Amino acid sequence: MTATPIALAPNHTQLLEEAITGAGGVLADLDDARALIWDSGPAGFPEQLPENIEWVQLFSAGIEEWFDTPVFDRHPNILFTSAAGAFARTVAEHSLMLLLAGVRALPEHLAARSWRTKELARNIGTLRNATVTVVGAGGIGRELITLLAPLGSRVIAVNRSGAPVDLPGVVETLPAQRLPEVWSRTDHVVIAAPATPGTRHLVGKAELAQLEPHSWVINIARGSLVDTDALVDALRAGTIGGAGLDVTDPEPLPDGHPLWDLPNALVTPHDSNPPQLRTVAFAEHVAENVSRFAQGRELIARVDVAAGY
Amino acid sequence: MTATPIALAPNHTQLLEEAITGAGGVLADLDDARALIWDSGPAGFPEQLPENIEWVQLFSAGIEEWFDTPVFDRHPNILFTSAAGAFARTVAEHSLMLLLAGVRALPEHLAARSWRTKELARNIGTLRNATVTVVGAGGIGRELITLLAPLGSRVIAVNRSGAPVDLPGVVETLPAQRLPEVWSRTDHVVIAAPATPGTRHLVGKAELAQLEPHSWVINIARGSLVDTDALVDALRAGTIGGAGLDVTDPEPLPDGHPLWDLPNALVTPHDSNPPQLRTVAFAEHVAENVSRFAQGRELIARVDVAAGY
């Protein structure tokens, strides 16, 4: 198979070059290439791409800002793909970190200044044989499930349709409308669902009240999905084990907010997908799409210009 | 197939009963059973077991204390099995927790009292595409490797013989004598090797000097494998990212020891296998052995009375 000519601009990071060449592409100038990997924002994007360009890969998961430019209008015959889904793995890893650190009582251990084994060991739990409900089985949720499976967790996946999530470790898939059944029979909950009017305060006072004193609630989606005041009450009362939050409501969390000081609240300031990890993740996404393009297969994360996303 | 009669004593926890019956056994009195699951220490163990007992499962990984009793001598025709290996999973989970929390900078996040995203996000790393060296590919090491694989780590396994560890995620297996090659080309190191004269201070000044400022060292084996003074120097100087230690030298770590106060030292007081998790792990071990016994297959963790372990 002849290597597929691909242009890389405006930056030329080695990682992306390797991703392209390793996936069956060969680096080429824009005028000789069949595709363009654009590893930056809209600023500096070519006004008019040559006719030989069939596909453009953009470097962001949400592409709202690209719709504010004439780029799509000027290139009606070019297929654009975003980086949607590319960053799911780092967010899933982050959520696993928060869940494991909570369940295994790391915060109390870090606060200790003495070898108090008996006292500290008591609070160590395990994800093994624990029921973990993953609300939202999109990219992040699915990645998280693949991390939970070898730990021996029993995953309840919740998605909109209830169509079975066919991944190891999933013992049950529930449609979103059956979520109320979950709270009394899960050990932990990870929120990875989109923010919509329907998911606002999905975790509120009534839901928290049904969880166990050892239960952890992880939110790496959007702050609005959790009722912060109800959560603070539960954390203070110790009716749940704790919360790991990469997103909060309000966000940013103001100085002096009780969540900063509660020992069973692990707050990371919406940095589960930090800038320095994005290029690595993007390179994997590019490799996948270059490989698909070279083989004439359907690309992932295609932009639907008419639909606006 | 007829269910295999198994006695359970001296405690009758539901979890163990379920493990036995779920694995093809049926609960029976000692006089009617072919095997005994003994879920306690040597105190209260029957002076003489009836002749119908072919196999006894003991409830501990290290069985030194049983050798101080006449139990083995009195029952030369009975096969004894220990719980060796049964607790590998909880220790592996704990080591993953320490590694993930370190690599993703959780301690700094927990210390924060303000939404400092830029400053905190900078220090977040990932296990994805990271080279993780697992020293000691026994029960714990192998379990850990199965947890690292879906995270996308590249594992270098180090064992005595160098015989390839055939698990997903393992990119290379090295014999112990080639360990000196590893330090300059690994991101992180997890110590899961037995303590022997040959492994004392396996991680010392020279080894630490070859690691990277982002490297984490996890020790869940024995404190003596790491040179504590050299580690403290490296942690203070920031020449490595940090250390996650479930074991220390000296142990217990005395009050006032610098490791208690270093922000990049995560210390858990040898509680990676806490009492409340042991029964669960033991139940899985019992299920495996009952299933093997019922099928006439070789049991795991057989005690070699002559060899003394």
DSSP string, A249-296: SSSSPPTT-HHHH-TTEEE--S-SS-HHHHHHHHHHHHHHHHHHHHTT
Q: What is the spatial distance between Cα B299 and Cα B290, in angstroms, rounded to a whole number? A: 8
CA distance B297 to chain A (A): 25
Chain B residues with CB inside 8 Å of A110's CB? 107, 110, 266
Q: Do B110 and A271 touch (CB under 8 A)?
A: no
Least Cα distance to A125 among A242, A238, A214, A218 occurs for: A214
Active-site annotation holder among A104, A201, A214, A270: A270
pLDDT over 80 at A308, yes or no: no
This prediction has a pTM of 0.89
Interface pTM, i.e. ipTM: 0.89
Round to whole Å and give the CA distance between A257 and A118.
32
Superfamily of domain A88-267: NAD(P)-binding Rossmann-like Domain (3.40.50.720)
Q: Per residue in A243-267, pLDDT tens? A: 999 999 999 999 999 999 999 999 9
Residues of B whose CB is below 8 A from A146: 150
Which residue out of B14, B100, B214, B259 would a mutagenesis test of the A interface target, given it has the greatest number of A Cβ atoms within 10 Å?
A: B100
- Which of A96, A120, A267 is opposite residue B271, by nearest beta carbon? A120
Q: What pLDDT does B280 receive?
A: 84
A54 pLDDT higher than 70: yes
Answer yes or no: is pLDDT of A279 > 90: no
- CB proximity list for B43: less than 8 A, separation 6 or greater: none
DSSP A64-84: HHHHTSSHHHH-TTSEEE--T
| Residue owning tokens 């040898």 | B270
Tokens 């069973």 belong to which residue?
Answer: A264
Q: Clarify whether A222 is annotated catalytic.
A: yes
A149-195 pLDDT, tens digit per residue, is 999 999 999 999 999 999 999 999 999 999 999 999 999 999 999 88
Mean residue pLDDT across chain A: 95
CB nearest B124 (choices: A98, A260, A271): A271
Amino acid at A92: A
**B274: distance to nearest CA of chain A, Å?**
5
Task: Give the tokens for residue A110.
Answer: 């870090």
A62 pLDDT more than 80: no
Per DSSP, B67 falls in state H
Is the Cβ pair A128, B276 closer than 8 Å? no
**Cβ neighbours, 10 Å, residue A73:** 9
Cβ contacts of B61 within 8 Å, gap of 6 or more:
B82, B83, B84, B85, B86, B87
Smallest CA-to-CA distance from B268 within B60, B135, B95 is with: B95
Percentage of the residues of chain A whose pLDDT score is greater than 90: 90
- Cα separation, B176 vs B180, in Å, equals 9
B79 sits in which H/E element? strand B79-81
Q: Where are the alpha helices (DSSP H) in chain A?
A: 14-22, 64-67, 71-74, 88-103, 106-111, 117-121, 139-148, 205-210, 228-237, 258-261, 275-294
Q: Which of B93, B124, B261 sits opposite A128 (nearest CB)?
A: B93
Residue A111 has pLDDT above 90, yes or no: yes
Rounded to whole angstroms, the Cα distance separating A172 from A265 reads 29
Contact B114 A260 (CB under 8 A): yes
- The pLDDT, as a whole number, for residue A253 is 98
- Kind plus residue range of the DSSP H or E element containing A243: strand A242-245
A130, A188 in Cβ contact below 8 A?
Answer: yes
Q: How far is CA A5 from the centre of its chain?
A: 31
Break chain B into its structural domains and give their ranges: 4-86+276-294, 88-267
> Cβ separation of B117 and A270 shorter than 8 Å?
yes
Same fold for the pair A4-86+276-294 and A88-267: yes
Cβ-based contacts under 8 A for chains A and B? 152
Cα–Cα distance for residue pair A86/A304, rounded to 1 Å: 17
Residues of B in contact with A268 (CB under 8 A): 106, 109, 120
- Residue A307 has a pLDDT of 79
CATH fold of B4-86+276-294? Rossmann fold (3.40.50)
Close Cβ partners of A197 (under 8 Å, ≥ 6 residues apart): none
* Stretch (H or E) spanning A217: strand A216-219
Below-50 pLDDT ranges, chain B: none
CB < 8 Å to B127, chain A: 93
Q: Which residue of B has its CA nearest to A266?
A: B110
pLDDT at A1: 61
